[in-house]
């Protein structure tokens, strides 16, 4: 099993409804990828009965490295919806990979190499 922690960051540093909407869609679409198990954290909203899904600390687990390529495809859609969004992947060794400004091939290679390196115990 492979595991990556995903965070969605607004590089604009301002709160934006458009960002929240785009990021929420990303998380929902990520949860529908068949070969990935996605676990999100929620936070209770004070003064209401509602909860919100946190956009950090999203744990994605998969059996096959290839399944993680879906993260890049979804990130590309997120960037099209909200240009200042960034998707960051944090690996078990603490290293972080930001998918922005990478081609699909570069992203897939970096993710695969990192997961293989962690599997080998390097």
pLDDT tens series, the chain, 122 aa: 899 999 999 988 776 788 988 999 999 999 999 999 999 998 888 877 788 888 999 999 999 988 999 999 999 999 999 989 999 999 988 889 999 889 999 999 999 988 888 777 75
Helix, coil or strand: residue 51: strand
CB 55 within 8 A of CB 27: yes
Helix, coil or strand: residue 120: helix
- Looking at the domain that runs over 2-120, which CATH code has it been given? 3.30.70
In this prediction the pTM is 0.85
Q: Hey, where are the domains in the chain?
A: 2-120
Q: What does the DSSP assignment read for 11-42?
A: TT-S--HHHHHHHHHHHHHHHT-TTEEEE--E
């Amino acid at each position: 099993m492979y595991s990556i922690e995903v965070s969605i960051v607004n590089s604009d540093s301002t709160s934006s409804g458009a960002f929240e909407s785009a990021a929420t869609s990303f998380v929902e679409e990520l949860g529908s990828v068949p070969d990935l198990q996605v676990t999100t954290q929620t936070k209770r909203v004070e003064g209401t009965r509602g909860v919100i899904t946190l956009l950090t600390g999203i744990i994605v687990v998969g059996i096959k490295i290839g399944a993680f390529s879906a993260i890049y495809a979804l990130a590309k859609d997120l960037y099209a919806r909200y240009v200042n969004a960034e998707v960051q992947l944090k690996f078990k060794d603490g290293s972080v990979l930001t998918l922005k400004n990478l081609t699909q091939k570069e992203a897939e290679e970096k993710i695969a190499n990192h997961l293989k390196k962690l599997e080998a115990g390097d």
